[in-house]
């Protein structure tokens, strides 16, 4: 798990909204976390989009899932120009959507905010993770986080899957302005990764080795995963977590 928790980031969105009514809300890339948040706010209606039928099924089966007649959970792809055609929303949430799009609409990230601008008549909130995988870290915690991220992405690629592709805060702000959004508030939240993060990411790696075509490589990678897990968990136990990088929350108005 990370510090801040995802719950804190949603609370920040609620704080930024202040006394403005939520109105009709679009959750542009839904999951269990944002669905829990949707259930907690006083919206006129909500529409939640996911590109994965498996995620929609998981949400529908969750005890947190409750709908009113006017609420919708849809499975679709943002590359579909007919998705929500001619609709607009008072509040739009895009939490970790930019990073996830690579798996559903690769090389389409520059089109996301123009697409969401068509649907936004009020405020867009963007929650994202500043990328760490491509960059060299200077400290031991950062090096471990980066090593975990690179190993995860390598395992996903060798298992014929696309890894997430996160974008820097500066890139996101630039794209928002180009799409006729006006950034109003930008906040960063330092991350401390714990044992749940280490185990979750490396369990994902271990599962993907079962689909490697080269069994010798799979065996070697399994040994490497075990070694990295041991080193990372030892550091977490000694230092109270892996402090590295940050999440960000952006509030942007439809210009």
pLDDT value of position 30: 96
Q: How many CB atoms lie within 10 A of CB 53?
A: 9
Cite the DSSP H helix spans in the chain: 6-17, 32-40, 53-61, 97-100, 112-119, 140-158, 169-178, 195-209, 215-239
Average pLDDT, 10 consecutive residues per value, the chain (255 residues): 67 94 97 94 97 96 95 96 96 96 91 97 97 94 98 97 95 98 97 97 98 96 98 98 97 94
pLDDT value of position 5: 61
In SS3 terms, 3-34 reads as: CCCHHHHHHHHHHHHCCCCCCEEEECCCCHHH
**What's the angle, vertex CA 213, arms to CA 207 and CA 219, rounded to 5?**
60
Give the alpha-carbon dihedral of 156, 105, 55, 21, to 10 degrees: 130
Q: How many CB atoms lie within 10 A of CB 204?
A: 16
Beta carbons of 16 and 125 less than 8 angstroms apart: yes
Beta carbons of 73 and 59 less than 8 angstroms apart: yes
Distance CA 141, CA 14 (A): 31
pLDDT value of position 7: 85
Element (H, E) at 250: strand 242-254
Give 223's Cβ-side CA count (13 Å radius): 5
Distance CA 27, CA 48 (A): 5
pLDDT value of position 1: 40
Q: What is the pTM of this model?
A: 0.93
pLDDT tens figures, 127-147: 999 999 999 999 999 999 999
Distance CA 45, CA 148 (A): 40
Task: Locate 251 and state its tokens.
Answer: 């509030």
């Amino acid at each position: 798990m990370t510090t801040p928790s995802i719950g804190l980031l949603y609370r920040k969105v609620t704080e930024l909204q202040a006394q403005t009514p939520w109105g009709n809300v679009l959750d542009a890339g839904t999951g269990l976390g944002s669905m829990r948040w949707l259930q907690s706010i006083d919206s006129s209606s909500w529409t939640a989009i996911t590109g994965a039928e498996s995620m929609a099924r998981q949400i529908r089966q969750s005890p947190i899932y409750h709908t009113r007649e006017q609420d919708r959970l849809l499975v679709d792809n943002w590359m579909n120009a007919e998705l929500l055609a001619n609709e607009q929303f008072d509040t739009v949430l895009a939490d970790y959507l930019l990073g996830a799009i690579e798996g559903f609409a690769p090389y389409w990230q520059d089109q996301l905010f123009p697409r969401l601008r068509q649907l936004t008549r009020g405020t867009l909130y963007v929650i994202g993770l500043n990328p760490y995988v491509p960059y060299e870290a200077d400290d031991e915690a950062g090096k471990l986080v980066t090593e975990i991220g690179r190993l995860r992405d390598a395992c996903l690629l060798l298992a014929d899957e696309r890894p997430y592709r996160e974008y820097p805060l500066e890139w996101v702000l630039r794209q928002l302005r180009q799409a006729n959004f006006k950034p109003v508030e930008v906040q960063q939240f330092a991350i401390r990764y714990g044992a749940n993060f280490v185990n979750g990411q490396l369990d994902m790696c271990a599962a993907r080795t079962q689909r490697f075509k080269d069994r010798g490589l799979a065996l070697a990678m399994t040994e490497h995963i075990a070694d990295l897990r041991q080193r990372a968990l030892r550091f977490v136990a000694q230092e109270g977590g892996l402090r590295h990088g940050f999440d960000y929350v952006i509030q942007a108005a439809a210009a």
